[in-house]
Chains A and B, each alone.
Chain A
Amino acid sequence: MRWLIRLFRKRKIEHQLDSELRFHIEQRTADLIANGVTPTEARRHALIEFGGIERAKEECREARGWSFAEDTWRDICYGVRMLRKSPGFTTVAVLTLALGIGANTAIFSVVDAAFLSSLPVRDPGRLVVLQWRAHEGPRASNMSGYGDCGRVGGSQSTSGCSFSYPMYAQIRARRSVFAQAIAFAGAGQLDLSGNGPASIVQGRLVSGNFFGTLGVRAVIGRLIEPSDDRTGAAPVVVLSYRLWQSAFGGSPSVIGRSIRLNNVVFTIVGVADPRFAGITPGSLYDLWVPLSQTTPLRVAWVSHSRHDPGNWWLVIVGRLKTGVSLSQAQAAVSLLFRNDMLHGAKPLFTAQADPRIVLLRAREGLTGGRAYYEDPLLVLMLSVGIVLLIACANVAGLTLARSASRQKEMAVRLALGAGPLRIARQLLSENLLLAALGGLIGFLFAYWGVHAFISMEHSQLRVSPDLRILGFTAAISVLTGILAGSAPAFRGPRVDLVPSLKEGGGGFPGGARPRGRWFSAGNALVVAQVALAVVLLAGAGLLIRTLENLESLNPGFDTKSVLLFGVDPALLGYNASRTESLYAQLQQRLAALPGVASVGYSTRALLSHSLSETSVYIEGQPGKSRNVDILGTGLGFFSTLRIPLVAGREFDSADFARADAAAAAREADKSLPPPISSHTFLSPREPPSASSKVSALISVLVNEAFVRQFLGKRNPLGVTIGEDKNGNWEIVGVVGDAKYSNLRRAVHPTVYVPLAGGGAHFELRTAVSPESLIPAVRGVVEHVDPELPLFGMKTQTQTIQQLLSSQRLFSQLLGFFAFLALLLACLGLYGLLSYEVARRTREIGIRMALGAQRSSVFRLVVGEGLALALVGGAIGIAVSLGVTRYLGSLLYGVRPGNPAILIGVVALITLVAALACYVPARKAMRVDPNVALRQE
């Protein structure tokens, strides 16, 4: 700390030095006067004896030595002075760096929020997620997941994070491994009523120790406790802070209030901490209820088989005991799992399958939706890194040009005795100063940028500038300063003293330079900038083309003027036959609305990111099950969406009657095949026993892809297929291929079955603007059943917009960064050429005096600029061919190395480079030989 104190005591030290020396002289004067010398003479004599006072002072200061801090302070003061002397350079350099640093900070803060921030719970490092692995899938009757740890695979999946309730109970009871083990599952969409109009909320089923183990606190009231999870406990619910604010106005009086979820009365006992919206990053839940309420809530895919060891539906998270390592815990849990799976009451694996458990740290295991934006974010990180590199090269180029014009200053300083290291340090600190200013402004850019990004995306990420982000910005600012400053700093001192001092203004310093200029540092920097910009432009070009391809894609049905909405009467306890009459009534009344052309319905809305898959056996192809997409459709689905019928017939009401009868039989048998929430993929391994009892064949339709892939030339009509080997589905028609869950996914073989029971999405083909019908549609549904909530009301065009929104944002961001890169690179080119023209004014003057035409001077400059741009462009194309290969999975309908895009990029860069050359070239052309030669 001594240096710091000395820095601030500088004035005091100066003052003391002054009085010490004055004391000496006055004392000497007094002594001489005492010896009889006259006062004037005495003082004169004392001063002569002493010698130069200022020199003595300077030597004293020198003797004390300059501390590092004082040196740095001097550097900063000097740097500020130098930068203020050339405001143009400073502004350009600071803004360039601010753009580079700001872009990096913005993207980093999104990455930080998505990947690096820790879970909002106590001691997250000790939390582990259980994942099972095996060589083949289990004979579980049901497997469901909720987007917590990646996809739950199809029927052939050999790993997963879902477990049965009995397994959870065993693991929880084994206290030697985990201090606590919690379990949770999605409750899907719940119908919330008793608080104004009925609405749909997202719920979670959690074990009683969930909040206690995670260490989450309540804002008001209490959270779910183990006693709430006992059988027969009173139904309680904990609200998320968000729902409490939005639906209950944040009123403290909600504690103790009753609400109805799926028509079951629940008591609100508390509100969770606002920072906790779920344990999986990016997930947002509205409320939590105890696992014991699964059955009353009629959560369709578990309610009947909550304790069935074959129903795997719970995610298990354990808190490691102190002193137990991850591998110890893994071995113990794995053994438990293996024993139960192979030798338990109901063996679900064979020994060959080698079932085992892997423990993943909660942060790595609970990925949530992360997988969907991992790649785009990585690409964005790389591109802002490139932008920053270009910015660095740009500022390095500017500094280089400036340091060349400051050669005389450097020479003077060297001549006066400054060491080369001292000068390098000076140049470096000027650049660090620039970078610090750039970092400051960049941080503001990033702050605004990220907020614009969040509000545009309605993102669920919580991004806020924190210490880590500030640290990141500071670190890249320093790095930038060093990168941008090092080239000139180490080149600066290599100044030949004599010619620089002799040189007048801007002749050709170091007369030997004109040859071999091609490899000058300035040229190399510009070539590098152009090359990097080309790489970004090529990448952006590919992604923009991808977006265009997706936007102009024909999904196989008419997406214009379609209004969608969903209802789920099963939540209110409707059975299959009541559901069918409800749908018939709704369809009839909706079709009667003025402006509605036709009405259809289906289990899922198309292009809404939701999907069901199953596997089927095909008649005549025994022992071989095929993975297919499956969609339940109601009357009028195909005609409303204008999906063409290729062969056979559409469903008629008899088909629905048979399907309903089968569904009713299954309901009676209490083994309802579970509907599926989004991101959930089911594989009913043990088909419902009831299906074999139903003798009547159910009519199904398939798409052309199904016929192409599985039936070939065989006539598809009349072929029976089924989810088990004695198939009870008969193909009665073939329809055109249509995209199912999203635009990117290829059309898979699809089976369309008659919708029987469960929720549905209605599709309305309208003759007027679809939005204008929304109030009327709400009125119809309310009239039919006031308790029935509507959800997901939007137009088909909107669903497509939503599918593409992140793609669009991604392409736009990358396009923006590429544009920025192009701009910076051309600014670099412009700067270099301007400097060259200024430096060579005299040479140009001589050329003209010797008879060179103005046009040839113009060509000289433009030629040099274009040559640099083309060399940069060629290198950039080569690099981008190598790099854009990794974009593969993000592209659609366009391949890396697309010649049209590469040619476009080269044309663009040439055009912009020509513009950048134009101004300096004009300047060169206007050089007046008389003035140029007389300049010295």
Chain B
Amino acid sequence: MNEEKAAILKGTLDMLILKIVALGPIHGYAISQRIQQISKDYFRLQQGSLYPALHSLENRGLLAADWRATDTGREAKFYKLTPKGRKHLEAEMESWERTAQAVALILRTAQ
């Protein structure tokens, strides 16, 4: 039933998470909703696989986390970008741009 949904390209999930977190502190559930919303449900994301990625980013010092209350008053773990994470995100985005351009160039000129 989800055949038209694409799996997230290997290695890009980290970048997507960082980009979303860059907008402001946010908890895990909200991140998963954002990815679905912004990509207009294009990506097929097994929600459970989001968390290992978050924990790994936190462990690498790219994300920081603390517990605070949500709008509904529940305690949730909010992630935010560290300065190191911001640098990493910029580098990743730049390299992604270049890769995408190169790929597009090849696809176009090889026609």
Contact = CB atoms under 8 A, between A and B. Distances in A.
B13 to A, nearest CB: 12
Interface string B49-76: 1011101100100000001000000111
B59 A63 contact: yes
A20 B49 contact: no
B46 interface: yes
A624 interface: no
Contact of A50 (B47, B59, B76): B47
Contacts of B55: 17, 60, 63-64
A51 B49 contact: yes
Contact of A64 (B47, B59, B77): B59
A52 B48 contact: yes
Contacts of A62: 52
A23 B48 contact: no
B49 A59 contact: yes
Given A51-B46, A55-B48, A63-B52, A19 B75 contact: yes
Interface in B1-49: 27-29, 32, 46-49
A27 interface: yes
Nearest to B30: A27
Which range contains the number of B residues in contact with the other chain?
10 to 19
A56 B77 CA distance: 16
Contacts of B32: 24
Interface in A241-283: none
Interface string A57-68: 001101111000
B27 A49 contact: no
Interface in A719-733: none
B52 A24 contact: no
Contacts of B56: 63-64
Contacts of A840: none
B28 to A, nearest CB: 6
Interface residues of A, number: 22
A36 B100 CA distance: 41
A23 B48 CA distance: 12
Nearest to A49: B47
A794 interface: no
Contacts of B76: 20, 23
A28 interface: yes
A56 B56 CA distance: 12
B29 A27 contact: yes
Interface in A47-83: 49-53, 55-56, 59-60, 62-65
A49 B76 CA distance: 20
B53 A63 contact: yes
Of listed B28, B46, B48, B59, residue having the most chain A CB within 10 A: B48
Contacts of B47: 24, 28, 49-51
A807 to B, nearest CB: 67
B41 to A, nearest CB: 13
B52 A60 contact: yes
A21 B51 contact: yes
Contacts of A16: 67, 77
A689 B67 CA distance: 104
Contacts of B74: 23
Given A53-B48, A56-B52, A60-B55, A28 B75 contact: no
Contact of A23 (B27, B46, B52): B27
A17 B58 CA distance: 13
Nearest to B31: A24
Interface of A: 16-17, 19-21, 23-24, 27-28, 49-53, 55-56, 59-60, 62-65
26 contacts: A17-B55, A19-B75, A19-B77, A20-B28, A20-B51, A20-B76, A23-B75, A23-B76, A23-B77, A24-B28, A27-B29, A49-B47, A50-B48, A51-B46, A53-B48, A56-B48, A56-B49, A59-B51, A59-B52, A60-B55, A62-B52, A63-B52, A63-B53, A64-B56, A64-B59, A65-B59
Given A20-B76, A50-B46, 20 more contacts: A16-B77, A17-B55, A19-B75, A20-B28, A21-B48, A23-B27, A23-B29, A23-B74, A24-B28, A50-B48, A51-B46, A51-B47, A55-B48, A56-B51, A59-B49, A59-B51, A60-B51, A63-B53, A64-B59, A65-B59
